[in-house]
Amino acid sequence: MPLMPAKPEYPHDHAQCSSDALAEAQRICARRGVRLTETRQKVLELIWGDHAAVKAYDLLEQLSGPGRAVRPPTIYRALDFLLENGLIHRIESLNAYVGCPQPGGQHSSQFLICDACSIVIELTGTDVVHAVADEAASHGFEITRQTIEVHGLCGPCAARHAEEAPVP
Amino acid sequence: MPLMPAKPEYPHDHAQCSSDALAEAQRICARRGVRLTETRQKVLELIWGDHAAVKAYDLLEQLSGPGRAVRPPTIYRALDFLLENGLIHRIESLNAYVGCPQPGGQHSSQFLICDACSIVIELTGTDVVHAVADEAASHGFEITRQTIEVHGLCGPCAARHAEEAPVP
DNA sequence: TTTTGTAATGTTATATTATCACACTTACGT
DNA sequence: ACGTAAGTGTGATAATATAACATTACAAAA
């Protein structure tokens, strides 16, 4: 049974959410003495268009216009900058990028990814991080980077799905 | 400081390890009534060449010979088969594939990946899985697939690294 | 044993994701 | 204004993966 695609449902004032993220990004870049140039900011805005992960070549299309053909390096440079400065995350299992809601600091990445509506929810709990750290330590392993990506159905999509295929 | 690449260190009888994996794969396929054809078996053998993850196009080169030019679909079909039957895993953060040491059953994927020697260690503990499941449940999220990929340095590489760059 | 249907493979082309190399421009401190 | 480093433009290409359709091999039925 194929998943029904849908728009991410996340009841909140997204215009606010997005502009907060942009403002915070500006603060962070100012504090760090790095430049949030027009291209970088534009890419960040596009990524914050909603709470789904965005593909590099979609950004490319969106940035390109009638008079302006943006090339891949432009996008990837902007993405690299945003990644380095902790403003976005890369979702490995999707080859896509999503805004970071707690930008600035290094923090481990744990995501719930809805395969129906594509929403990406970033987790902030420490239990998982600790459990992983313990396991790693027991193997004498020194962690530099954790990637935790959990696929499935978000609450609203799970509900919709159950409705469409009710269990007898 | 760049990581020193190295061969994966994993003191064991790898010939045995590898041939056990192959034999187990044959048992599993027989039980399931699916065919471990020559190409599929060859790919599985190559993946079990050591405990590092292998790239699809490296398999392609290794399978190709003077008289035989193997094309991408051949490899990807074999990889799909092996993935579907739980004989290998895909490491998303590397776009690469690794043998599964507990093949057959569905199980969550948790890997320690050494960025120096490329060894991939599959974890089997349940703490992490439970911690993730709890977090997901608290968001009303229904999990279908977990990907946990932890990058860093394995024990031997961490030791070697510390030796090369001693802390005063 | 031949037939026949399905699974598997071969083959060509192309899609998708990402990087390299080098030229040019802009911002910024001096 | 000048020099420098950071940022961007541009063309080419690398690396990863899939689509579409033809052909072959296998195993069970007739």
Domain ranges of chain B: 11-103, 108-168
pLDDT higher than threshold 80 for residue B12: yes
User: How near does any CA of chain A get to the CA of B148, in Å?
Assistant: 4
Concatenating the DSSP letter of every residue in B96-152 gives EEEE-SS-SS---EEEEEETTT-BEEE---SHHHHHHHHHHHHTT-EEEEEEEEEEE
Confidence of residue A1 (pLDDT cuts 50, 70, 90): very low
Which SS3 state, helix, strand or coil, does residue B23 take? helix
Confidence of residue B11 (pLDDT cuts 50, 70, 90): confident
Instruction: Look at the block and give the residue holding tokens 């199980």.
Output: B107
The answer to whether the Cα torsion of A14, A17, A21, A22 is positive or negative is: positive
Tokens (6 digits) for A53: 């992960």
pLDDT higher than threshold 70 for residue B24: yes
Amino acid at A65: G
User: How near does any CA of chain A get to the CA of B111, in Å?
Assistant: 9
**CA angle centred on A135, ends A132 and A139, rounded to 5°:** 135
Chain D footprint bases within 7 A of protein beta carbons: 6-13, 15-20
CA-to-C1' distance for B58 and D26, Å?
Answer: 30
- pLDDT for A66-104, tens place per residue? 778 899 999 999 999 999 999 999 999 999 999 999 998
- Nearest residue to B45 (alpha-carbon basis) of B85, B73, B69, B18: B18
pLDDT computed for residue B165 by the predictor: 62
One CATH from 3.30.460.10, 3.30.1490.190, 3.40.50.300, 3.40.980.10 for B108-168: 3.30.1490.190
Which SS3 state, helix, strand or coil, does residue B24 take? helix
One CATH from 1.10.1740.10, 3.40.640.10, 1.10.10.10, 3.40.630.30 for A11-103: 1.10.10.10
Name the least confident of A75-84, A116-125, B101-110.
B101-110
Spatial CB neighbours of A66, under 8 Å, sequence gap ≥ 6? none
Name the least confident of A11-20, B74-83, B135-144.
A11-20
Q: Average of pLDDT values for A118-128?
A: 93
Q: Average of pLDDT values for B138-154?
A: 96
Tokens (6 digits) for A21: 């993220």
Tokens (6 digits) for A121: 């929810």
Q: Which nucleotide in the DNA or RNA is closest to residue A37, CA to C1'? A: D7
pLDDT computed for residue A46 by the predictor: 98
pLDDT higher than threshold 50 for residue A168: no
pLDDT higher than threshold 60 for residue B89: yes
Q: Which of B114, B138, B148, B157 should be substituted to probe chain A, the one whose Cβ sees the most A Cβ atoms within 10 Å?
A: B148
